[in-house]
Amino acid sequence: PSRKQTPTAEYPQGRRQAQLEQKEPFRPKSPQRKQIERESHHKRLQGRKPSSAERTCKGRRKRNAKASLKDQRTLPKKKKEVLKKETHKKIKKPRSSSLASSTSSGESLSEEELARILEQVEEKRKLIATMRNKPWPMAKKLTELREAQAFVEKYEGALGKGKGKHFYAYRMLMAKKWIKFKRDFANFKTQCIPWEMKIKDIESHFGSSVASYFIFLRWMYGVNLVLFGLIFGLVIIPEVLMGMPYGSIPRKTVPRAEEEKAMDFSVLWDFEGYIKYSALFYGYYNNQRTIGWLRYRLPMAYFMVGVSVFGYSLMIVIRSMASNSQGSTGEGESDNFTFSFKVFTSWDYLIGNSETADNKYASITTSFKESIVDEQESNKEENIHLTRFLRVLANFLIICCLCGSGYLIYFVVKRSQEFSKMKNISWYQRNEVEIVMSLLGMFCPPLFETIAALENYHPRIGLKWQLGRIFALFLGNLYTFLLALMDDVQLKLSTEETIKNITHWTLFNYYNSSGGNESVPRSPLHPADVPRGSCWETAVGIEFMRLTVSDMLVTYITIFLGDFLRACFVRFMNHCWCWDLEAGFPSYAEFDISGNVLSLVFSQGMIWMGSFYAPGLVGINVLRLLTSMYFQCWAVMSSNVPHERVFKASRSNNFYMGLLLLVLFLSLLPVAYTIMSLPPSFDCGPFSGKNRMYDVLHETIENDFPTFLGKIFAFLANPGLIIPAILLMFLAIYYLNSVSKSLSRANAQLRKKIQMLREVEKIHKAVKGRTTVTNSEDTPKNSSKNATQLQLIKEESISHSPNQTQAMDKKAQGAGTSSAYGRISQPASWNLLGSQPPEVRLDSGHHQSQPQICRSTSGKRAQRQPPH
Amino acid sequence: MGSRASSLLRDEELEEIKKETGFSHSQITRLYSRFTSLDKGENGTLSREDFQRIPELAINPLGDRIINAFFSEGEDQVNFRGFMRTLAHFRPIEDNEKSKDVNGPEPLNSRSNKLHFAFRLYDLDKDDKISRDELLQVLRMMVGVNISDEQLGSIADRTIQEADQDGDSAISFTEFVKVLEKVDVEQKMSIRFLH
């Protein structure tokens, strides 16, 4: 295996080793390999016998194994066994080595392994022979017998019986190769995870919380790729391939008035002109029921894709939330040992960068300080009235800010509608909404932070408040924007009727005026000249498109100015400045996790809202996420410094997911409202001419399905059926909710019980410790010995082969009698095991290391005794 | 380099190391080349200075303790056997190892041996107890001078109060194990040695 294959990314543990290894310069490997092979060959030529140490070791192991089996074999027999085995080995050795020489030294079967397997096979055979005499229940005997037989069958070849031997060796070789292949494949898979190395790099410099943002970004990118595939595969590409070409009908043509400017960059930049009349927007699609030779039902597909975008997003968000929360239940008892954990486990041994190490020092210090502050906070008495007053004041100020920003946006959107009616408007007037929204998003969060300083909250709680407020700001802005947009839509809808009449009238006049000369049928009116409606759907789509693009640009410019240029300035001007720029005022920027996550969540909300009216929006978003992945990775590595306070990533992750779910739900509402209750435009989009957009469903069911299916659907849509179904769902939710509540209550109770047991244990121990104060010199040694012994037992208890259980029982008895600790805690843990209901798993499944020290011993007992 | 590595390693030695630590043949040769590259004195042993050149150890507040763990009592050189013996604590526990060798000597990379390695980092005077003073020293290393002695003392007291079970105002190995029983030591204290 060459060095290039070294899997640095697979496990963080691997990294250190890899780093150690990479430090040395590359040296060709082959001479070494050759040397090894030559040597091993040399060895073989010598006809090596097992060294005496090896022999004794094996003999001892074997003896032990037998003892544990409670085998009634006599000593001479045992000796014979050993001898026999050695002769076996001697005979076998040349063969195995001849086989081994054909492969590289690392992959062949070592003699040691062979000997071990041989031993095990012998053991199993003996077990089969003596099975009858064992004092075990029948079921156990049967399973053991089956296990042993399978084992013997599998490894019989190792005993060296003619062809079986070769076959066995071959099989083992293949198995090894297979394992190696699997490992290589796993490495390959890790390499295929996009940006894994980049993220690991960031993680090592900035801690897991910053990395969690990038992991979230990557997850979002994956989700968007799926959405992109859905929309492009099922809507845009069929339309481009099979739909009517550009210019064939009015909705697919740039109107005459816009034609001359339609290719200008400034027009295209606003998503007007040719882009507006392209497959990126709702209005381009025709209301033909089927298109192309495939008879693809495009309007139906459009509707279903719009629904499934939301369906898929909801499903994936909820699923990842559930999988996150499953992991988080395991943190139960650890708050018993907050300080111990901080002392013993706070250092990250993988840190190899001195700057990061400094930051880690700082973060450890802060975390200690925080816990000291927590301690003091609980004891401190404060002027409650002043704090209360300040908090009320702060909230009042922030609500004022929120209302102000909401009104500002409403005002700006209204004004932009007036601007849009005017000709010759400036660039500022055209982009006012986007600029104001971006500015609000930029300046309000710091303002909130300043106001929040009044409140004097604990920083952890303060962060949550801050997040909530920014969330409210974004949400308020978004909804104000939506309301203003809705006003616009209503306005357009009200004028639609007159435009419809005008269109009819124009066409009517046009064709009637040609009545004079019937011999030459007049060519139909050019589609660009047909008067048409305003198509509110496309207008909405364009708004979202522009918002997304401007949001992206503002983010990039902020990063470039606020992070990169600032970092450059601080770095290079520090030599000739009157104060220390790096430590003093401007300093380097920190990576703002909460702000970045929130803006990511909100832009995703906009994508969800807009994707129904602008199918191309998801494509833009995919590009945006892709570029922002690279750009932000670069920016964070080049110009940010790690946080002073590193907060835990795993907990906040689900919080972000919750925000995402909320945003998803909120963005579902306006889309659902427009689909259900607004009539589609009469002359654009796949649903034109219908009363409501969802009528496409009725149409398909009526025309394309057999009549009985249509009847079934009609029956299902009956309110008499839907209302009971909803009621049933509510009942199910109620039931599941109460079940989960009671389970969590039981969980809490058990936890309390454990806590109490621990305290009782402590008192017991303390009493014991005081009585044995005199011989305190050797007690710790004893106890540690016991501990290791017990530890051993615990690890054995994982596997269930018969000799092990036997040996364990024996040891457990020994341990139980020798250690005071074991005696005391045994009854306690019986109780616990007995009373634990099967479905409430106190995260013992996750950590095999977690059970109390005596669990294995008491667990074994508990199997025999009926639970209390 | 590679040829030197294996020529300096005698077969018997290699076999013994293999048996003692459970490393595979190629892992041993690989680690041996690493060993020799660390060995600036080129005398077949490593000194403390050699270890301190590793950046991860140099910046680690407990780096000296870790380096100390490589050296046996009173010596300031470690040979390859000793080096490997210490590294063996960090070998990952493989699946097939859990079932075999029930009665043999406990492998160096078992959970309790891993924990004991960690415990020894804190237990300076080797009395199998972490006393308040030892905790204070560790804390001092980890936080520098930013926190007052009094506060550090209270942290140490709190830590002992949490972990202590038998009321002797010190943390024994049993108590240490108990504290860390939730931590996935098998995984956390493992380095993926290359094959």
Query: CA-to-CA distance for A478 and A471, rounded, in angstroms?
Result: 10
Could you read off the pLDDT of A564-599 as tens digits, one per residue? 898 888 888 888 877 777 777 777 887 877 778 888
The confidence score (pLDDT) of residue A862 equals: 36
Question: What percentage of chain A carries pLDDT values higher than 70?
Answer: 65
A-chain residues near B2 (CB < 8 A)? 27-29, 31-33, 35
**Chain segment A625-642, per-residue pLDDT in tens:** 999 999 999 999 888 876
Interface contact B186-A10, CB threshold 8 A: no
Q: Is the pLDDT reported for residue A838 higher than 50? A: no
For A133, counting Cβ atoms within 10 Å of its Cβ (0-12 exposed, 13-18 middle, 19+ buried), the class is: exposed
Please tell me the distance from the alpha carbon of residue A300 to that of residue A227, in angstroms, as a whole number. 17
How do strand A589-590 and strand B129-130 relate by DSSP bridges? Answer: unpaired
Q: Which run of H or E residues covers position A778?
A: none
**pLDDT tens per residue across span A431-475:** 787 788 778 877 887 788 788 877 777 666 777 778 788 888 888
Judged by a CB distance cut-off of 8 A, whether residue B17 touches chain A is no
Q: Report CB contact under 8 Å: A17, B191.
A: yes
Share of chain A above pLDDT 90, in %: 14
Residues A415 and A429: their CA atoms lie apart, in Å, by: 9
- pLDDT, one tens digit per residue, over A689-734 is 888 888 888 888 888 888 888 888 888 888 889 999 999 999 999 9
Helix (H) or strand (E) holding B76: none
**Residue A11's CB: how many other CB atoms inside 10 A?**
17
Token pair 């959405």 is found at A227
Instruction: Identify the residue whose tokens are 């030779």.
Output: A293
- What pLDDT, on a 0 to 100 scale, did the predictor assign at position A493? 85
The pLDDT of residue B156 is 83
Beta-carbon contacts of B39 under 8 Å, excluding residues fewer than 6 positions away, are B45, B46, B50
Give the model's pLDDT for residue A672: 92
Distance CA A211, CA A215 (A): 6
Q: Is the pLDDT of residue A101 over 50?
A: no
The pLDDT confidence band at residue A76, using thresholds 50, 70 and 90, is very low
Closest Cβ–Cβ partner in B34, B174, B181 for A849: B181
Min Cα separation A46/chain B (Å): 13
Q: How far apart are CA A696 and CA B185, in angstroms?
A: 60
Reported confidence tier of residue B194, pLDDT bands at 50, 70, 90: low
Which amino acid does the sequence have at B33?
S
pLDDT tens sequence across B5-40: 445 567 777 888 887 787 888 788 888 888 888 888
A56-64 long-range CB contacts below 8 Å, 24 or more apart? A57/B19, A58/A82, A58/A85, A58/A115, A58/A119, A60/B104, A61/A119, A61/B101, A61/B103, A61/B104, A62/A119, A64/B102, A64/B103, A64/B104
- A199: confidence class by pLDDT, cuts 50, 70, 90: confident
Contacts for A442 with CB less than 8 Å, ≥ 6 apart: A554, A558
What is the structure's pLDDT at A867?
Answer: 38
Interface of B with A in 79-118 (CB under 8 A): 92, 98-104, 106, 110-112, 116, 118
Question: What is the arithmetic mean of pLDDT over A857-866?
Answer: 38
CA angle at residue A399 from A396 to A401, to 5 degrees? 110
Q: Determine the average pLDDT of the residues in B46-56.
A: 83
B12 close contact with A: CB closer than 8 A: yes
Alpha-carbon distance of A21 to B37, in angstroms, equals: 10
d(CA A757, CA A835): 14
Q: Is pLDDT above 50 for A67? A: no
Interchain contact B133–A (C-beta under 8 A): no
> Nearest C-alpha of chain B: how many angstroms from A566?
29
Non-local CB neighbours of A835 within 8 Å, separated by 6+ positions: A750, A753, A867, A868
Token code pair at residue A493: 């809808």
* Beta-bridge partner residues of A640: A589
Q: Which long-range contacts (CB under 8 A, 24 or more apart) does A296-300 make?
A: A296/A238, A296/A242, A297/A700, A297/A704, A298/A235, A298/A238, A298/A239, A298/A243, A298/A686, A299/A686, A299/A687, A299/A696, A300/A696, A300/A697, A300/A700
CB contact under 8 A, A853 and B178: yes
The Cα A709–Cα B40 span in angstroms is: 84
If we measure between CA atoms, which residue out of B45, B52, B79, B76 comes closest to residue B66? B52
Higher pLDDT among residues A587 and A319, named by residue: A319
pLDDT at A47: 42
The pLDDT assigned to A139 comes to 79
Distance from CA of residue A473 to its chain's centroid?
27
- Residues in chain A with CB shorter than 8 Å from the CB of B99 are 799, 801, 804
Higher per-residue confidence, A667 vs B125: A667
pLDDT interval class at A195 (50, 70, 90):
confident
Q: Do B168 and A776 touch (CB under 8 A)?
A: yes
Closest approach of B159 to chain A, Cα-based (Å): 5
Backbone phi, psi, residue B172, to 5°: -85, 175
Residue A568: CB atoms within 10 Å: 12
Inspect the interface and report whether the beta carbons of A341 and B179 lie closer than 8 Å: yes
Mutate to test the interface with B, among A349, A650, A767, A843 (most CBs of B within 10 A): A349
DSSP A475-491: HHHHHHHHHHHHHHHHH
Enter the DSSP assignment of A233. I
Three-state secondary structure along A179-211?
Answer: HHHHHHHHHHHHHHCCCHHHHHHHHHHHCHHHH
Instruction: Please tell me which of the candidates B25, B60, B167 has its beta carbon nearest to residue A106.
Output: B25
What number of residues does chain B have? Answer: 195
Q: How far apart are CA A327 and CA B113, in angstroms?
A: 28
Phi, psi of A523 (to 5 degrees): -65, 145
Q: How many CB atoms lie within 10 A of CB A100?
A: 21
Where residue A517 falls among pLDDT bands split at 50, 70, 90? low
**Which pLDDT score is estimated for B146?**
66
Paired with B172 in beta bridges are B129
- Residue A475's nearest CA partner among A441, A439, A518 is A441
Chain B residues touching A334 at Cβ < 8 A: 182
Q: What is the pLDDT of residue A303?
A: 93
Residue of A317, A315, A484 whose CA lies nearest to A409: A484
Q: Tell me which chain B residues have a C-beta less than 8 angstroms from the C-beta of A371.
A: 155
CB contact under 8 A, B142 and A361: yes
Give the pLDDT score at A511: 73
Lowest-confidence segment of A197-206, A856-865, B86-95 by average pLDDT: A856-865
Q: Residue B103's pLDDT band (boundaries 50, 70, 90)? A: low
Residue B28: predicted pLDDT: 84
Whether the pLDDT of residue A650 is over 70: the answer is no
Contact B88, B22 (CB under 8 A): yes
Q: Average pLDDT for residues A208-214, to the nearest whole number?
A: 80
Interface test with A, best of B127, B181, B185 (most A CBs within 10 A): B181
Q: Is B46 on the interface with A (CB under 8 A)?
A: no
Window from A604-608, A820-824, B35-39, B88-92 with minimum mean pLDDT = A820-824
Query: B112, A786: Cβ pair inside 8 Å?
Result: no
Please check the confidence at residue A353 and state whether its pLDDT lies above 80: no
> Measured between alpha carbons, how far is B146 from A572 in angstroms, rounded to an integer?
30
Residue A45 CA to residue A166 CA, distance in Å, equals 20
- A145: buried, middle or exposed (CB in 10 Å: 19+, 13-18, 0-12)? middle
Contact A761 B19 (CB under 8 A): no
Q: Cβ separation of B194 and A18 shorter than 8 Å?
A: yes
Tell me: the pLDDT tens digits for A797-816? 444 444 444 444 444 444 43
Q: Is B114 exposed, middle or buried (0-12, 13-18, 19+ CB in 10 A)?
A: buried
Over residues A609-624, mean pLDDT: 93
Q: Kindly tell me if the per-residue pLDDT of A738 is higher than 70.
A: yes
Q: What is the mean pLDDT of chain A?
A: 72
Which residue in chain B has the smallest CA separation from A761?
B165
> How buried is A631 (Cβ within 10 angstroms: 0-12 exposed, 13-18 middle, 19+ buried)?
middle
Alpha carbons B181 and B129: distance in angstroms, whole number: 18
Alpha-carbon gap: A337 to the closest alpha carbon of chain B (Å): 6
- Does the pLDDT at position A105 exceed 50? no
pTM of the model: 0.61
Residue B76, min C-alpha distance to chain A (Å): 22
pLDDT at A612: 92
CA distance B75 to chain A (A): 24
Contact B91, B189 (CB under 8 A): no
CB contact under 8 A, A768 and B166: yes
Of all residues in chain A, the one with the smallest CA distance to B170 is A780
Q: What is the pLDDT of residues A77-97, one digit of tens each?
A: 444 444 444 444 444 434 333
| pLDDT higher than threshold 80 for residue A682 | yes
